[in-house]
Amino acid sequence: MDGTAAGISDTSREAEELMFALWRRASPAQRLRKVFGIGKMVNELARGELRRRYPDATPREIEMRLAARNLDRGTMMRVFGWDPDLEGR
């Protein structure tokens, strides 16, 4: 399995091989930084989408909606006092 949807990719085989070779040569710290960077990018994209959906939302509301995408309702209510069923995700 090559990690693409049904093997469909716009990346050439040579480019994929180079990418995998670079990942294999990277130190554990370099790999971890890359993974955290990808996570940060995903969260920033999600924040942008939330700001578009809720243009009047405060920064805290955006963060609560982002957290509600990853945490269960009980945790959101216990830790943040935010009920995703009432406030939305």
Of 72, 65, 73, 74, the closest CA to residue 43 belongs to 65
Q: How confident is the model at residue 85 (pLDDT cuts 50, 70, 90)?
A: confident
Sorted by sequence, the CB contacts under 8 Å of residue 89 that are 6+ apart come out as 65, 68, 69
pLDDT mean across residues, the chain? 89
Predicted confidence band of residue 8 (pLDDT cuts 50, 70, 90): confident
- Select from 45, 33, 43 the least CA-distant residue to 67: 43
Q: Where are the domains of the chain?
A: 27-87
pLDDT tens for residues 36-76?
999 999 999 999 999 999 999 999 999 999 999 999 999 99
pLDDT (0 to 100) of residue 11: 84
Please state, for a pLDDT cut of 90, what percent of the chain lies above it.
Answer: 74
As a whole number of angstroms, the distance between CA 89 and CA 10 comes to 33
